Structure 1
């Protein structure tokens, strides 16, 4: 936000020319911060409930550092996804408090305390090869303020492993099911629970898996109701959507 615009708005509120409700609406519409190569949306949290997230893959390291520097001026937590070790080291030069999860490829800078929901998000995987994508989903959900549980390696090749954990499945408010190969696990889980299931196909599988396409098509064509499908390997998107759903349920508790 431009400093002069903010000062003018605050002065109008103090003088009674603008109501609090009008000011809030104006804040939601105020400009982004233009730093030349990027336009940092510092008011996204005000508009949609969550701050802007940095997608790092393909970005120049110096650009990432400058974006982080701008975001540090605010009071929101900073989340960076698809972050390599090189990205982590670059961000660490800007703020050495950054936390890095190499498996999930996520960097996180904590600027405020994170509350935890009563409702739980359960992240389920078919196999251990799916855990990297699952952890991206789980950590995203945790950073956004949710209570997250994990149930890994319970794929349909040994379905008794899943069926022995039905209590865990039933206790979740939202479920994220991450699976590669043929991606059947999401259909099985959705046939057992009365909660929303977010299916995430992964690129894990042999040649005819087509880098996740077979799992994606299976999930899209599921005969089980209550499934929403993310793009291939999009753990972040699943964690974000699960958080939105979970928070809706929280407001009714």
Structure 2
């Protein structure tokens, strides 16, 4: 609902809203700080392979140098855990948390559309958004994988770049809920991300509660979401509960469980 009375002429309401939006635009320094936060979030939500774990001292230093904020505090709490973990233990925790549990999958369109045709179209729309902004993902992950979405947000800025995060706010809330329930340290990373987004509405909270109780929608058909020239291999979206063989994974990984959503191979 508009905060301006309906009796105010439409052209005035439009110009007032435009002025508010202009005032809300971040300064160059604020935009740089926000992009850094988003890039850190993207890195910390990736699988902790040897390359990422080797960079933990530099990541901890970058987080420690952030200006005071809720996001910085949450990331600091996560880094306390992450830097103290044995690399194999950190990798196992990541796999158990994100690859083996449907409720904390990092594929955002799953929460909005489940395994349905609509999810395939949402993936295609997201990939087209990236290309329209002049950004080509490397294709190692689906375009709705949270670290990919965060990287795009960091590169493209608060408007176009963060639109997918705002669209999938409810899915992010559900992931945070699952992580908090499991007492996973990754709950701090999701808390940091949510602190950057507009507050959840009552409708958002009700939708998340429904998702917690019922799960995403389902559709008992096999789906090839992208069609000709797409990103995902045939069979990516199988009937709910069907076994979909995962792509090959590094020897140190635990193979994804059959009941979770399809996972791309880590690199």
Between the two structures, name the one with larger relative contact order (CA 8 Å, sep ≥ 6).
2
In the superposition, the TM-score normalised over structure 2's length comes to 0.29
Judging by fraction of residues, say which structure has more helix: 2
- Please say which structure displays the higher CA radius of gyration: 1
